[in-house]
Each structure stands twice: as structure tokens, then as C-alpha cells.
Amino acid sequence: MAKVRTKDILEKFNLELVSGEEGLHRPITTSDISRPGLEMAGYFNYYPAERIQILGMTELSFLELLSDKEREIRMEELCTDITPGIIISRGLDIPEELITASEKHSVPVLRSPMKTTRFSSRLTNFLESKLAPTTAVHGVLVDIYGIGVLITGKSGVGKSETALELVKRGHRLVADDCVEIRQEDSDTLIGSSPELIEHLLEIRGLGIINVMTLFGAGAVRSYKRITLCINLELWDQTKQYDRLGLEEETMKIIDTDITKLTIPVRPGRNLAVIIEVAAMNVRLKRMGVNAAEQFTNRLNDVIIDGEHEDL
């Protein structure tokens, strides 16, 4: 099923449909946009027909220099069976040859009053967001001090209860149980909630609660960039847990690596406070302050000084 169709662009940017209405349901498969300048000159060897084509002042003014026959041939070649649409910027007049070719091949021709560069930028951002690789993860996503923290772990380990405590402490819930994640850039993961369960938390023994109704609009947000993953697991006496924080574990979601911390769960541990501190520690590391490295350096200095005294 296509994620984006030409009709979506028409509605999103409030464009004017000029011709080729039959092709409005054509799928758009790439966020790349083409400005067919060389094609206007007749060079179609590498024509990216699967992209949205944008014609601005430069392309249309060049088209006016061509003969009627040349214009007709160029427009015929521009409108292919896989071209999702042709958009005219700046509200410019549309050549009759283009309207004729678009009706013949059912290629939608749309018009925007915006300048070419501005419209291209906005359209690219929209398509990259819609066509970004996506996945879903079982867990909870909370915005803690501006850090998107994905809380994962086996069912029943206490993810939702911890999220509830974090919300009570003033942080914001993004998603519970199922986190939809899209990769908007090579290192950017954006998490959001499925529409059906948005703003809801499931607490065993209590049932489903609406966080926005209980705590207000400031307790929720629609999406958040994921920076840190906290994996909750039941305390295992045989396992050696990191006590310094020098070893940074990562996990891969789609094609992006994010920092992962494993927090053992046992009675008496305040998970909400631990996760809060973990988020603050990530912010400190971003600012160049690494407590574990500072301690190690001080320890090394003490050892070196002791060796010098022995000599």
C-alpha cells in the first residue's frame, strides 16, 4: 500500500488541480524532486520520471523559446506512465501543450503560488517524513528533560508503572505499549504513538487511564526524537552489571544506533529516579561532562602519584 499519493500533496499544500485528475491516485515512491531543465532542452536519457517534477520560471521561460512542435514533443516526453505529478510554481501560466499531454497520459498538473525554492524545500521535508523507514517497538516512550527515553523490557517488568511515576514527576508521555518509530535521517529516530492508544496508559490492576485527562495537556506530547533506550530486566544475581558507566552499549533501530542502558529491577529500587538521572547524565555528556571518565582519570592520577612516592 502506497504511503503517499499525488492527492495527498494536493490536499497538504492546497494546490490547484489544472489537469490530469485521473492520475491523482498515483503513488509517490521517492522524496527526491526533479526540476527538468535538461529535459526541456531535449535530453531525456536520464530523466527521473518517477519523481515529482517542478517547473518554475526558468523552465517555463525556456519552453517559450521553443517552436510549437518542439514544445509538444517535450511535454509528451515529460508525461510518462510513472510520473506522479507535475507542479507549476509561482502561479505561472501553464502551456497548452502540457495540459494536452497530461490529459492524454493522466499525469496530474498542479499549480502553487509559492516560489520554486521555498515550495521544493517544504515538499521535500513532507515527503521525507512520510516516506521514512518505519518500525514498531514494544515499550514506552517518555520525554524526560528534553531527552526522548525509550523504556523497553519484558511484559510485566513495570514499564508502564515507571512511565506513570515519571509523568507524576512532571515529564511527558509520548507512547505506551507500542512505539511507532520512523527514521527521518541517518541518525534521527522519531517515536510516536498509534492513534488508537494515544495518551493512554495501561496499568495492571487499574486498567487503562487517559494521561491527558488526568494530568493535563502538558503531560503528553505527540512525538519525540529518541536519544536513549532504557532496558528494564529482573535482577539476575549471576549477571555482572556495569557499575562505572564507562562501557557504552548501543542498540540498532532500523539503521540508527542509540545508547542503551540495562537497569536491573528489584524491590526497593526507584526506577523513575534512576531513569531521570540517566536522562540528565546523557545531557551532561552532550555538554562534555562525563563523570565516569573524570573518576577514572582521577583514579589513574592517584595510582601514578602513589607509584612515584614508592620510588
86-144 pLDDT tens trace: 999 999 999 999 999 999 999 999 999 999 999 999 999 999 888 988 999 999 999 99
Is 115 assigned to a binding site?
Answer: no
Average pLDDT of the chain? 89
Among residues 69, 243, 266, 308, the one annotated as catalytic is: 243
pLDDT at 1 over 60: no
pLDDT at 147 over 70: yes
pTM for the complete prediction?
0.74
Q: Nearest 5°: phi and psi at 236? A: -115, 115
Among residues 115, 138, 168, 169, the one annotated as catalytic is: 138
Q: Which domains does the chain have, with CATH numbers?
A: 6-131 (3.40.1390.20), 134-295 (3.40.50.300)
138 has catalytic annotation? yes
Among residues 26, 51, 74, 159, the one annotated as catalytic is: 159
Write out pLDDT tens, residues 249-264.
888 998 899 989 888 8
301 has catalytic annotation? no
Dist CA 144 CA 230 (whole Å): 12
12 has catalytic annotation? no
Q: Which three cell numbers stand for residue 270?
A: 526507584
Q: Find, among 208, 196, 195, 130, the residue nearest to 164 by Cα.
A: 208
Please give the average per-residue pLDDT across 17-34, as a whole number: 94
Is 160 assigned to a binding site?
Answer: yes
Distance of CA 301 to the CA centre of its chain: 44
CB atoms within 10 A of CB 87: 26
159 has catalytic annotation? yes
